[in-house]
Amino acid sequence: GDSVTQMEGPVTLSEEAFLTINCTYTATGYPSLFWYVQYPGEGLQLLLKATKADDKGSNKGFEATYRKETTSFHLEKGSVQVSDSAVYFCALGRGKLIFGQGTTLQVKP
């Protein structure tokens, strides 16, 4: 069945560092891909999405490109801030969403 694998965390970075969180998937067909973010004590909220191959989703300085050939959807940000500290979830689906295990990001001043 469909599945999502994320890099294990936690990831600890200094402010203004470059961020990459890896996400790879296994799926039949071409599902939509998503990144959700969960701030402490809150529910998940959509960060960005891509609905077809080679699409790039972007929001709040974060980007991810839907790569069919490598079945990947890596999340990147050029310069992280302390306020980006959160848990990031990669997900795929066409209705029902399947989530990865989540990657905790901690950004230190």
| Contact set with another protein (CB under 8 A) | 4, 6, 32, 36, 41-46, 49, 51, 89, 93-102
Residue 49 burial (C-beta neighbours within 10 Å; 0-12, 13-18, 19+):
middle
Comparison of 42 and 54: residue with beta carbon closer to another protein: 42
Shortest distance, position 61 Cβ to another protein, whole Å = 19
Shortest distance, position 17 Cβ to another protein, whole Å = 25
Cross-strand pairs, 97: 93
Residue 76's closest CA among 4, 22, 7, 6?
A: 22
Comparison of 43 and 109: residue with beta carbon closer to another protein: 43
